[in-house]
Structure 1
């Protein structure tokens, strides 16, 4: 989550949706914000206290957290935006991220289909390092009653275009987005990773996202 009181925006960072690039592009704007240094000090205090004093909005916090923690008039005045991603593609990205940086968390499942079945197994005890990409993306965008509380939802599939739109809504010139990191051994088309059964696993688990965000598993061209 990225908050700028000066420019009055709140970026809700959903993992594996291009958010790291968005944060990096907006970093200079944060440094020029007179509120940045007091917020940085609060962040450090939160870290040093073991995050017991609630002075920091976590990197991947949901919009409802900001709504509950910020004064109502402050939250309502912010331009709140996020990026989302096709759930089938996101799971492929998550698999390669874990295999590249945290292979011990693969649970012994080196192939994507086996890993996905294990990961989405309802009987498996929840594990935070996996469950960030198991959570519904739409949960990051709604309040406790299911009402959408963000002003703009961009899409990873058109990241640059939608980032420019978000910047226009904020009232700033769009800074350059840094290169998005991608695993060298990943096949470009996410559909190549799935068969009918594994595609259906994702369809069932992420059905609310697929319905609310309008994604689908398109047939290969």
Structure 2
């Protein structure tokens, strides 16, 4: 009972450092837990950076085993901190990206339907509630500031590039070339099984994002995700 009281008396900067240390110790323990994704990273000398709505759950379960759990949507900096700079530089680091136009529509639909956890559900029921159509969402809500405010809409390059625009992973797979790029990774790190397609979107079958966008919506998305479009060579 004493410790919680003392914590309230600590200056904010000390509390922040304490929580930072707690998180570090937590993830170090995960690296020692059999079957855990972080331990599998060490065992395979690989690190996967999970960008939202780009097939990450399928990658984790197929490559690292059914026991492997989601790792959250972390930037390269997190893994550099947890595994150390030497390991981070030595390990094979990879990710998957997705066409920003397609990814944005998928994220909106996913959150509108409740997402995967309580925070997703709350975001869908509060922030997205006024936007009953994807067009309204894009034209009225989507700005660089708003995109940065929620994990599913953060530009993909921010997970992978440093401040000097250096790419901090060894391989960037594409959602549009999912199976082939997955096999390249599986061959590289020497583990995993045939790709399982998990957590698939329940959007209308056959729906194509190109049929959804108006010229004005396209212009808006380009203004917000111009770096993703440029760095990953995507277009509408």
Q: TM-score, normalised by structure 2?
A: 0.72
Shift of 1:173: 5.1
Report what 1:12 is aligned to: 49
Q: Does 1:212 align with 2:231?
A: yes
Question: Contact conserved, 2:144 with 2:224, CA < 8 A, in 1?
Answer: no
Q: Identify which of 75, 86, 89 aligns with 1:73.
A: 86
| 2:63 and 2:186 in contact (8 A); partners too | no
Q: Deviations over 1:4-45 (max 9, x none)?
A: 1011010000000011111121342866xxxxxxxx9xxxxx
Q: Which residue of 2 aligns with 1:142?
A: 161
Contact 1:21 1:179 (8 Å CA) reproduced:
yes
Give the SS at the match of 2:78: helix
* CA shift digits 1:93-128 (9 cap, x unpaired): 01110111134141311111001223314676x784
Residue 168 (structure 2) pairs with residue 152 (structure 1)? no
| Change in 2 beyond 3 A, CA 1:189/1:173 | same
Q: Which has the larger radius of gyration?
A: 2
Shift of 1:73: 1.6
Q: Whole-Å Cα distance in 2 between the matches of residues 141 and 9 of structure 1? A: 15
Unaligned runs of 5+ residues in structure 1 are 32-39, 41-56
Secondary structure at the counterpart of residue 172 of structure 2 = strand
SS for the counterpart of 2:152 is coil
> Contact 2:63/2:191 (CA < 8 Å) preserved in 1?
no
Instruction: Give the structure 2 partner of residue 198 of structure 1.
Output: 217
The one of 11, 21, 24 aligned to 2:58: 21
Give the 5 Å matches for 1:1-221. 2-3=37-38, 4-28=41-65, 59-101=72-114, 102=121, 103-104=124-125, 105-121=127-143, 128=149, 131-172=150-191, 174-185=193-204, 188-217=207-236
Contact 1:64 1:144 in 2 (8 A): no
Give the superposition deviation at 1:70: 2.6
Residues 173 and 122 (structure 1), Cα distance of their counterparts in 2 relative to 1, 3 Å cut = closer
Alignment coverage as a number of residue pairs: 190
CA distance in 1 between partners of 2:167 and 2:111 (Å): 30
TM-aligned CA distance change 1:85 to 1:122, over 3 Å? closer
Query: Are the equivalent residues in 1 in contact too, given 2:98–2:174 (CA < 8 A)?
Result: yes
Partner deviation per Cα, 1:136-173 (whole Å, 9 max, x = no partner): 10111122322111000000011111011111111225
Contact kept in structure 2, 1:136 and 1:209, CA below 8 Å: yes
